[in-house]
Structure formats: C-alpha cells, structure tokens
Amino acid sequence: MVHELMKGKGKGEVPSLLGSTTNLGQASTSSAYIQLPLSRDVACQTDHLETHIVGTQLYLKSLRPHLRSEGVQATISSKDVSVGTSNPDPFCLPSTPIKKPPKRPCLDLEELEDNPLEGSSLVEASKGQDSACDPADSITASLYSTLKSEDSSTPTHNSRKYIVYESCVMELFNVCPVCTRACDVRTQRLGTLLSVKQRCPHCTFRRHWNSQPILGSTPAGNLHLSAAVYLSGASFIQIEKVFKAMKLQLFRYETFRRHARAFIEPAVIHHWKVTQDVNLQRLSQEEKVILGNSAKYGSYTMMDLHTNTIVDIQLVQSNEVGGSCHLEKEGLTRSLALLKSRGVNLDCIVTDRHPQVQKFLRERNITHYYGVWHMAKGISKRLEAISKLKDCKKLKKWMKSINNHIYWIAAGSTSVPERIAKWNAILNHVRDVHTHEDPLFPKCEHAIRKTTDKSKWLQAATPAFYKLEKLLTNKRTLKDVAKLSPHPQTSSLEAFHAIILRFAPKNVVFSFIGMLCRLYLAAMHYNENADRPQAETEEGVPLFKISFPKARKGECRAKPQKTQPTFGYVADMMDLIFEKVFVNAMPYTNALLAIPVP
C-alpha cells in the first residue's frame, strides 16, 4: 500500500494526506506534534491490478477548527507483500495549521529532587497554553473558551487549587488521544510540581504537561506555598509533617528559605513601610498624639492609643547596646527619632516603669505616664508573696479589691493629689473605716452596708496590716501612683504581644531579618483586626464567650466574642510578590539590604 502526498495546485491550498483505510481513524484535533517521515522507500510485488485514488483538497482559508481534511484510497487485497522503510531524522509538523505556541521554560527536572536554581529567576510568567489543549476538540471545545477567559483575567496565585491523586492523573495519559492505544508515560517531580511526558509508540503522538504554571524556572505552586506559610505565621516544619502524613509531595526547607530571601521578605519590608508611611502622615497632621510603647523579645513597639494602631517597631539586639538592660532605652530612642523626622507632635508617652526610660524622658521634658496594667501586675505579685507569710493570709482576700482600686484611681482622678488621696484611702477601707482625713477624698463613694463577715477586716498593728501599709505607702509606690495614666492604657500592647507569639514563637530561632519581618506581619495583622465588632446572631443578639485568663488563676469570665479576623494584608502581599517582586526584585531587595543587620 502506498502513501501519496498530493501537491496543491492553487495559491493558498494545502495538500491532503492519503493513506490506507486500515490506518485511517477519526481526524485528530490535538495541537500536539505528530512526527512524520520525510520520505519512505516502498517496494511491492503484486499482480497488476487497477487502483482508484480519491483525494480531497481544501483552500487554506476555508480550514476552521470544526473542519477536517480527509483522504481515502481504495485498493484490492494482494498477495506476498513486503514493505521496507527508511526513516531519516524526523521533524515535527503540527496536526492542524495553527501558529506554533511559545516554548515552555526549560526545566532541569530530577526525580524526587529539587532544582538547585529554583527561585533565582526573575523572568515573567509564561502565558502560553498547554500544547495538548485544542479548542477544536469536540469534547473540550465548550469548556476551553471558558477556561481561557478565566486564565487571562485571573492571576496565577488567585486560581483555585485542588489535591489530585497520582492514579487519577495517570488515567488522563495512559491512552493516546489519537489512536486510543496504550502510551508510554514518564513522570518527574519538582517540589509540588508534577511533570508528565506522554509518548505513543504507535502513532508518534507526544505531549508534555505540567501540573502548575512555570514562572521562569520556578513552579508557581512552590512559591505560592512558601509565601502562604510565611505570611500566615505558620511553621514550615509543621507543614512538612502534615504533608508527609498525607503523602503530599513538598520541596525541601532550603527551597523555602530561598523563596523567603528572594521574594517574600523584600515584599514584607516594602508593604510595612508603605502602611507605616500612611500612619505617620496621619499622625503628623494631629495636634497631640498619645503613644504607648512596650518592649518584648528585643523589639520596641510604638502604638497610637487613640486609634489602637501600631505605628513603629524597632528590633534591637543586645550586642548593639552592650547588654539587655539597655535594649528598651535604645528602642525608644530610635522610635522617637523616627517620629520627630516625620513631624509627629507628642502629647505624652505611656510606658512601663523602666528606670532608664524614666530618666531619658525626664531629661527631654516629655510628659510620661505609667500604664496601669504594669503597676497592677507588680502590686499583685508583691501582695501574693506577702499573703504567703505567717499571719498574713487575710491579705489574699483583698488582692482582687486592691487591684480593681488601682484601675478605679487612674480612670476617675483628675489631678495628682486626688490620686494620692484615693490611694491612701484603701488603708482605711480594709479596716472597715470609710471616712478619711484628706479633704480631696473625705469618704468612700460606695454604699455603707452592714458586714456579715467581720473576719475579713484587717486590724491595725497586726503583721498583715503593717506589711500592707509598708507596701502601699513607700516612696516609690506613691511616685508611681502619681504618674498613673488617665489616658487609654497599654493593655492593647499586651494583646499585640500575644500575636507576636503566633508569628515568632519563643522556641524557634530566627535570623535578624526573619524576626523583623515576622514582627511586621504581626503588626499588620493587629492593625487590620484590632477593632473588630462584636459578633451577633441572626436575630441581632450579641455573642459572648467564656475565657479562663491565666492571671485570674482559673476564674472564668465572659468576654464579647468578636467577628472572625480578616487577612487582607496577606492577599495584598501575594499580589505584590507575584505581580511586582517576582518580575523585578531589584528595588525591593535593595531596600531590604539597606537595613543594618548587627
């Protein structure tokens, strides 16, 4: 049987391929390349019989995806047929006259190993479609147009992802789509990427399919997973354990660190600087700003107490300042220098009772208040220690009342003498005496009730009362009471410190830049979710939850249940990483390298 290639006679015409009816199947519409030999040497020995050849020709412009070229050759069976072929190096011809798609980025894939160069390329993502996807296919034609429009409008990182089993993927490649016979299939893996090479030994059909887009030399899924783990404050080690339990394929920790250094950390630094500039610009336009600050793990935080917003974070290492005792002062100095350079006018600062900070602010004539939470915590600890002494157990019953008294003084006093007068009144109150000598606070404001349990009152000249009086009236305590903040308190900063633990756990050691980026992430998360409203039922009934604070030692309390937190900052940084940093990382990397690392 002879295959003949008929030459077109008209301009723009294409030849039709004629062949044996035994090898003719349904016309393929795949855009995959079929290798055809340049020439064939055919020898036949048969009786001389007449043959009839029928061919069809179509004008090039009349070819459309729904049209097919077909050739038919009718012969009569013959005897003693021998065929010899000689195939030179084949070349690829497309099965349909469409433009050749752009080449895929070259990947040096190794089975079950990571590409050592992954994450180093800054080339823009290739937008070419899979060579095996043909919109003319009768099965996928209606689906192709929809998927194509979605792909063109939806960024790679915003596309939906699925968990797919290997056996289910192989079902798509085991059978040749042209001749429907078994194919040779080879798989390779690069992190979360699965690359499938399909080859049909019968009709030379070939296809190369990747499970995710390739950005330069980096699979998009690998970078997306690294960014998701980092930006959500999760631990790669814990995520790796989950993947191993599910037999999910994952890249190594070294790849995660390359992604972080090259793309994620520069994006975090840039996004924080942008949001910080907005907050500082707003503060510079206000006449008076009340700031609260606190130190934690070598970081110093500045918060605008009016808006409950973190405006600055300074990370200081002890080797920079000659010891951990100087960390808080150095962090405060850097933050104040930044605020001054941005034109922020301070009204006062609310901090803890750090001696070096007190002296530093006093020398610069900056109004300084103490956070009530810090003082109440210190008084409670000392009272608890005293209550464990002999003949002092009665003090344990008064600890909660004294703690509440501190908050009441700070919130209800208008002057320093009034605070002192109310503070000294507690010594009379614990003895069941509710009138006082100080005219600024002549009597207790609560209603006078008859006591049913007289044993709870302290008696003068007893060890318990003596130690309580000594604690509450010493010189340092009275100075601290005089400087209690009448403004919003720094308790919100303690809530922020709890968020820091989520992004930077104590038992994990981070590099300086890694710790700084996690502090920035914690600040962005706090600023976005600090003022969430209270959750309600469908009928509008406010919701509460039961909590057991550690400070209350097992005592439960009802707290308003807030709405679910949002993560808009994560979506913003995902867009930044894939659309800007990955395309051109140089300016973002330069900004990161400009940060002095001790």
CB-facing half-sphere around the CA of 569: CA atoms within 13 A: 23
3-state secondary structure of 476: helix
DSSP string, 342-360: TTPPEEEEEE---HHHHHH
Predicted pLDDT at 214: 93
Give the DSSP H/E element, type plus range, for residue 150. Answer: helix 141-153
Contact 105, 126 (CB under 8 A): yes
For residue 567, what pLDDT is reported?
A: 94
- Tell me what pLDDT residue 45 has: 55
- The predicted structure's pLDDT at residue 297: 60
Which amino acid appears at position 423 of this protein? W
Question: pLDDT band at 65, cuts 50/70/90?
Answer: very low
Give the burial class of 126: count Cβ atoms within 10 A of its Cβ; 0-12 exposed, 13-18 middle, 19 or more buried: middle
Contact 60, 12 (CB under 8 A): yes
Burial group, residue 296, by CB count within 10 angstroms (0-12, 13-18, 19+): middle
Question: Residue 598: what pLDDT?
Answer: 82
Per-residue model confidence as pLDDT tens digits over 77-132:
444 433 343 344 433 434 444 444 444 333 334 334 444 434 443 333 333 333 33
> C-alpha angle with apex 393: 372 to 370, nearest 5 degrees?
10
218, 583 in Cβ contact below 8 A? no
Q: How far apart are CA 72 and CA 21, in angstroms?
A: 7
Distance of CA 501 to the CA centre of its chain: 16
Q: How far is the C-alpha of 97 from the C-alpha of 13, rounded, in Å?
A: 12
Q: Are 37 and 204 in contact (CB under 8 A)?
A: no
Q: What is the pLDDT at residue 58?
A: 43
Within 10 Å of residue 233's Cβ, how many Cβ atoms?
18
Cα separation, 484 vs 376, in Å, equals: 10
Least confidently predicted of 31-45, 69-83, 377-391, 446-460: 69-83
Higher pLDDT, 475 or 110: 475
Q: Above 90 in pLDDT, residue 143?
A: no
Burial (0-12, 13-18, 19+ Cβ within 10 Å), 49: exposed
Q: Chain centroid to CA 125: how far?
A: 21
Spatial distance between the Cα atoms of 501 and 522, rounded to a whole number of angstroms: 9
Angle in degrees, CA 199, 205, 210, rounded to 5: 60
Long-range contacts of 467-471 (CB under 8 A, 24+ apart): 467/386, 467/389, 467/392, 467/395, 468/383, 468/386, 468/395, 468/398, 468/427, 468/430, 469/427, 471/379, 471/382, 471/383, 471/386
Token output for 595? 């940060």
User: Is the distance from CB of 296 to CB of 500 less than 8 angstroms?
Assistant: yes
> Which among 400, 552, 386, 378 is positioned nearest to 481, based on CA atoms?
378
- pLDDT by residue (tens digit) across 215-230? 988 999 999 999 999 9
47 in Cβ contact with 79 (< 8 Å) = yes
Closest alpha carbon to 371 in 354, 350, 356: 350
Count of helix runs (H) and strand runs (E) in the chain: 18, 18
Higher pLDDT, 10 or 346: 346
Flag whether pLDDT at 475 surpasses 60.
Answer: yes
pLDDT in tens, 254-305: 999 999 999 999 999 999 999 999 999 998 888 666 677 666 668 889 988 8
Q: Classify 418 as helix, strand or coil.
A: helix
How are beta strands 544-547 and 557-560 bridged, if at all? antiparallel
Q: Is the separation of the CB atoms in 303 and 496 below 8 Å?
A: yes
pLDDT digits (tens, 9 = 90+) for 498-529: 899 999 988 888 999 999 999 999 999 999 99
pLDDT score at 295: 61
List, for residues 243-253, the tens digit of each pLDDT value. Answer: 999 999 999 99
At residue 485, φ and ψ (nearest 5 deg) are: -75, 125
Mean per-residue pLDDT for 169-187? 93
Assigned token pair, 369: 């208040």
Beta bridge partners of 182: 175
Q: What is the pLDDT of residues 150-167, one digit of tens each?
A: 455 788 889 999 999 999
The predicted structure's pLDDT at residue 586: 94
Nearest to 177 by CA among 149, 198, 196, 158: 198
Report pLDDT for 466. Answer: 92
Stretch 164-174: mean pLDDT: 94
Nearest CA to 217 among 362, 120, 315?
A: 120
At residue 293, the pLDDT reads 66
Residue 41 contacts residue 85 (beta carbons within 8 Å) = yes
Tens of pLDDT, residue by residue over 186-201, are 999 999 999 999 999 9
Mean pLDDT in the chain? 78
Report pLDDT for 554.
66
487 or 407: which leads in pLDDT: 407
Class of residue 376 by CB neighbours under 10 A (exposed 0-12, middle 13-18, buried 19+): buried
Q: Which letter does DSSP use for residue 532 in this model?
A: P
41 band by pLDDT with thresholds 50, 70 and 90: low
Place of tokens 């690294």: 226
